[in-house]
Structure 1
Amino acid sequence: MNDTASPAGSQDRYDYIIVGAGSAGCVLANRLTENGRHKVLLLEAGPSDRRFWVQVPIGYGKTFYNPEVNWMYQSEPIPGLNNRTNYVPRGKILGGSSSINAMVYSRGQAGDFEDWEAMGNKGWGWKDVLQTYRKMEDHALGSGPFHGAGGPLHVDDIRNAVHPLSHLYVKAGQEAGLKYTPDLNGETIEGVGLYQVTTKNGYRWSSSRAYLWPAQGRANLRVVTGAFATRILFEGKRAVGIAYRREGREAAAYANREVILSGGSINSPQLLQLSGVGPADLLKRVGIPVHHESPAVGQQMQDHVCYDYIFKASRPSLNNELYPWWGKLKVGLQYILTRKGPLSLSVNQGGGYFRSRPGLDRPNIQLYFSPLTYEKALPGVKKLMGPDPFPGFIVSVSPCRPTSRGHLEIRSSDPAQAPAIQLNLMSTNHDMQEIVEGVRFMQKLVAAPSLASVIAERLHPTPNQATDDEIAADIRARAYSVFHPCGSCRMGPDPQEAVVDPRLRVHGLTGLRIVDSSIFPTVTSGNINAPSIMVGERGAEFVLADAK
């Protein structure tokens, strides 16, 4: 049932308490209640996701700076990006970031997960992970060796719906030397193609819609929105419950079996540190008694960096449909009447993966193409992203496996104070080399006949004759986080280097797991929502197996 009226009483007891109804938390809520044997409480700090602009796919332009549904974090100044701060949007709503993201479905490469297993995480290799992906998918391409059908999460193939400029982009990629890959989640992700997205029948198919909506009628599931978790309750080394605030009142709930943190890469380490679990020197500095020293909590944060080339186009782009009032009216009516058109899609339509130099064993750079340009509001400004008044498009590169590592620290013992987030992007020579190599390919890509023929004006590209140092300077001035933070409670066998073991149990404590993107040992190649949902599925399997 959904609880939007009254907080749980101080002695409310459940088998499992899940903190955070995000990409992984919604999966847990569904899987842990489907056999009917376990009583589950799901706590979410944000509101319900049954909102028009959340369910409309392109509506993420309206949730990007909306504090009702978005934590709207801000990073610390980043040395590798000229000490610029970066915006860190995170979903504060049922579905978490899967309710406000751009919906690109990218599972990562087989090698990513082979790396995870090689780091001591038994059972997280590609063979095991692929079976989980197949279990969770309801893929438009149907069931096969690399996809599943009939699962909760619908994945759309949008090749027949994208803007014509996106097809020109794919053609340009082939002209620049990449092979066409019709399935960027198939046997290989290498090549250029059109992204698959998590939509169905014109609606966003978030983790909430896929997993939580079908489960909300179950008598053994209680969903409490507006519940801001403030600390984990312990009896000795065992987690026994959660304290939280709702409507200005303090409440607590207790778990007979486990407390499961699914707050994501920002909120899970934050809650651990607030509860006295983390680096001892940090906890002492902010006046929190050390309950359990865990040096890795908040460390090893990773994220992808994106760098854009922006062009005015000589042909119509999505700007022509989404900027004028009459265009908004037209696409709005099209969506309402047919659930089709630009509002039913992501603006990230084209993309791919390639190797930026010889000798690499797998692709190391991701590509994005958007048949639209838009002005981003300054962080913290309540302004919607809006398309430019001229036709345009964006081509972007993003290194897949950066080596830069950041960290997260609470600033005080006040749960309401946002933590200090140091993304530390572009802090290694390796990362700069790879993104510069990516830019060199992007220069080749936009010079290919199919794209060159539709460029009216170059707005933000570095000249082809620019040196690597000049390109690096522009990267430091303009690159940004692409909103894939992960790894801040990473998985591994060593309690000094990792927070959870390969079954996602917190090292040194009992009754406590973390199931979200914070456990990634290394960031996957591409967008991280699909891997986050996969972690939710695997985490649920571990919990249920250990309950037997």
Structure 2
Amino acid sequence: MPKPTDTFDFVIVGTGTAGAVLVNRLSADGRFRVCALEAGGRDSNPFIHIPAGFMKTMTSPSVNWLYEAEPGPGTAGRRIAHPRGKTFGGSSSINGHIYNRGQRADFDHWAQCGNRGWGYADVLPYFRRSEGRIGDGDDRFRGREGEFKVEDLHWGNPLCDAFIAGAESLGIPRNPDYNGAKQEGVGYFQRSVHRARRMSAARAHLRPAMRRPNVEVRPHAHASRIVFDGGCACGVEYLRDGERYEVRATREVIIAGGAVNSPQLLQISGIGPPSLLNDLQVPVYLALPGVGENLRDHYAVRTAFKVQGTRTINELARGWRLGLEIAKYFLAGKGILTLQPTLVGCFWKSDDALENGDLQLTFTPASYRQGVQSTLESEPGATIAVWQQRPQSSGFVRARTPNPLDKPLIQPNYLTAEYDRQVIVKGVRLAKRLMRTAALRPWFKHEALPGEEIERDDELLDFVFGIGTTAFHLMGSCRMGPASDPMAVVDDRLRVHGVEGLRVADASIMPMMPSANTNASTLMIAEKASDLILDRIPPESAAL
């Protein structure tokens, strides 16, 4: 039995984007004692806080789960690396800083799937609550008072300006605020960087909350099993320093481990597809066939061209120039170390007949060896990445063994839907056109990826299969939906169907992919979850 001091009102598994917000909100008025378990350690790695440090944290085992997805036809048999944050702040501590909410239609579709209170008008107040926007924007859409700061990029570059001008010449409008009334268009990204340091959920929410006497955050505490008492979740068992512990919750257990860890923990605790649990020899506590299913991700394909007539980040990031950039950063908070991995966003349509855009393209004046975001090339280059906003292809996450320390099987099933293949090929064609606009002509040397000779649809698709990778946006593996949906895991109050005292609140509950990077939506989910858990009256729906 747990010690008396190991009993709290709420136990939260995970201190990532959602978990950090929940720790803050549930403990704010002092009424409730909150314990959060984090499998990783503190966010003390200096590369977390330097914006360009993502190049290091993406491959660092000290702050990263270093997952890999299973090979499939859509990846030409390759295993795709899937970095996920394993530290305070979770993936918000290692991601690419992009703040992107998505489209109105995304959330209206969630509501149309039977999820009351999740339409755009319902969730916009939570986006606004979470955000501390620093910069221009319509205050009907943007938040100013939130802890999570969102800034504009302040780094001029002629290639970025030329890319934007070139997109305009193709009929894509300039959009100064894609997080405002409408996403469609081209412009500089807004980012989770504040005063030249990463704005993670740990910096915004977790660390301030940890100063409260009613909060206890336990690092290096790997959740191993949800504890049940009859039909109710009453605690969490976890591993720490080779020992097994248990912490009890008098009100609720909240799982916020993300799209990989949340379904794995449910499965090894006996909640999931009965056939899988039987294979694992885990007693079935609750048969929920949707646990681990509906996994989706953005499959990113990076095209590139060689640059002439100007310097790119490739040259600035090596030799004496890198030394100068390091000095700029530490002395003045400026230079390339303040940058996120991609600087300009372009949201457009694969077909003019579409009402809402289905493509996201990104531009950065840098290029990577073999088109993979890990090591910069030495000669000047630029990258245009592209992905389909709302993929139809879906996969799964499945525990391989009952051992919580064993990594689960991840299979996103990239590009298994024919529609996804058609859209991504159209996106690559658009990227090839954008390279060749008159605005970029002074700096365009030649196309490096996929190559000027690659033009037929089948050739482009082979290129996509051979070079595409994750955009780091896994979601959907504990899908929200009504009880009538046999694959739903949680209801519209994020309660796990069929058990009391247990919720899931993270990117795994998204029923469909938003047309966006997922961090902003995950912040919103956690903000709304805190109101649901505390049974607060929701803010008035936005009348827009």
- The answer for the alignment partner of 1:381 in structure 2 is none
- In the TM superposition, residue 464 of structure 1 has moved relative to its aligned partner by 6.7
- The answer for the alignment partner of 2:496 in structure 1 is 506
Q: Does structure 1 residue 212 correspond to structure 2 residue 206?
A: yes
Is the Cα contact below 8 Å between 1:48 and 1:93 reproduced in 2? Answer: yes
d(CA) in 1 for partners of 2:133, 2:363: 22
- The answer for the alignment partner of 1:137 in structure 2 is 131
Aligned residue runs from structure 1 range 6-405, under 5 A: 9=3, 12-141=6-135, 144-158=139-153, 160-314=154-308, 315-324=310-319, 326-375=320-369, 385-405=374-394
- The answer for the alignment partner of 1:516 in structure 2 is 506
Q: State the one-letter code of the partner of 1:92.
A: K
- The answer for the alignment partner of 1:5 in structure 2 is none
- The answer for the alignment partner of 2:521 in structure 1 is 531
- TM-score, normalised to structure 2, is 0.95
Unaligned runs of 5+ in 2: 539-544
Deviations 1:437-456 (CA, angstroms, capped at 9, x unpaired): 11221122111012232122
Q: State the one-letter code of the partner of 2:103.
A: Q
- In the TM superposition, residue 251 of structure 1 has moved relative to its aligned partner by 0.7
Matched residue SS, 2:238: strand
- In the TM superposition, residue 20 of structure 1 has moved relative to its aligned partner by 0.3
- The answer for the alignment partner of 2:474 in structure 1 is 485
RMSD of aligned C-alpha atoms?
Answer: 1.8
Deviations 1:66-100 (CA, angstroms, capped at 9, x unpaired): 11100000111122222221111100000000000
d(CA) in 1 for partners of 2:378, 2:4: 55
Deviations 1:8-66 (CA, angstroms, capped at 9, x unpaired): 95861000000000010000000000011000001100111133110111101011111
Matched residue SS, 2:17: coil
> Which of 391, 413, 420 is matched with 1:431 structurally?
420
Deviates more, 1:287-296 or 1:340-349: 340-349
Q: Does structure 1 residue 543 correspond to structure 2 residue 533?
A: yes
- In the TM superposition, residue 487 of structure 1 has moved relative to its aligned partner by 0.2
Is the Cα contact below 8 Å between 1:11 and 1:252 reproduced in 2? Answer: no
d(CA) in 2 for partners of 1:92, 1:336: 26
Matched residue SS, 2:159: helix
Deviations 1:134-161 (CA, angstroms, capped at 9, x unpaired): 1111102356111010111100011x32
Is the Cα contact below 8 Å between 1:259 and 1:511 reproduced in 2? Answer: yes
- In the TM superposition, residue 457 of structure 1 has moved relative to its aligned partner by 3.0
Structure 1 residues 131 and 311 mapped into 2: Cα distance closer, same or farther (>3 Å)? Answer: same
Query: Runs of 4+ in structure 1 displaced over 4 angstroms?
Result: 8-11
d(CA) in 1 for partners of 2:534, 2:113: 25
Q: State the one-letter code of the partner of 2:346.
A: G
- The answer for the alignment partner of 2:542 in structure 1 is none
- In the TM superposition, residue 130 of structure 1 has moved relative to its aligned partner by 1.0
d(CA) in 2 for partners of 1:10, 1:88: 39
Is the Cα contact below 8 Å between 2:371 and 2:467 reproduced in 1? Answer: no
Matched residue SS, 2:508: helix
Deviations 1:392-419 (CA, angstroms, capped at 9, x unpaired): 1101111000000100111111111101
Matched residue SS, 2:283: coil
Q: Does structure 1 residue 448 correspond to structure 2 residue 437?
A: yes
Q: State the one-letter code of the partner of 2:535.
A: A
Deviates more, 1:446-455 or 1:267-276: 446-455
- In the TM superposition, residue 465 of structure 1 has moved relative to its aligned partner by 6.6
- In the TM superposition, residue 223 of structure 1 has moved relative to its aligned partner by 0.7
Matched residue SS, 2:246: strand
d(CA) in 1 for partners of 2:75, 2:242: 39
Is the Cα contact below 8 Å between 2:17 and 2:92 reproduced in 1? Answer: yes
- TM-score, normalised to structure 1, is 0.95
Deviates more, 1:369-378 or 1:131-140: 369-378
Deviations 1:218-242 (CA, angstroms, capped at 9, x unpaired): 0000011010000000011210000
d(CA) in 1 for partners of 2:160, 2:422: 28
Unaligned runs of 5+ in 1: 1-7, 379-383
Deviations 1:149-183 (CA, angstroms, capped at 9, x unpaired): 0111100011x324332111111111222111111
Is the Cα contact below 8 Å between 2:297 and 2:391 reproduced in 1? Answer: yes
**How many percent of aligned residue pairs carry the same amino acid?**
38
Matched residue SS, 1:387: coil
d(CA) in 1 for partners of 2:80, 2:454: 29
Is the Cα contact below 8 Å between 1:462 and 1:474 reproduced in 2? Answer: no
d(CA) in 2 for partners of 1:405, 1:480: 15
Matched residue SS, 2:101: coil
- The answer for the alignment partner of 2:541 in structure 1 is none
Is the Cα contact below 8 Å between 1:10 and 1:252 reproduced in 2? Answer: no
d(CA) in 2 for partners of 1:465, 1:105: 33
- In the TM superposition, residue 200 of structure 1 has moved relative to its aligned partner by 0.4
d(CA) in 2 for partners of 1:233, 1:329: 53
d(CA) in 1 for partners of 2:147, 2:370: 33
d(CA) in 1 for partners of 2:414, 2:184: 25
- The answer for the alignment partner of 1:4 in structure 2 is none
d(CA) in 2 for partners of 1:255, 1:377: 47
- In the TM superposition, residue 529 of structure 1 has moved relative to its aligned partner by 0.5
d(CA) in 2 for partners of 1:162, 1:527: 24
- In the TM superposition, residue 119 of structure 1 has moved relative to its aligned partner by 0.3
- In the TM superposition, residue 385 of structure 1 has moved relative to its aligned partner by 3.3
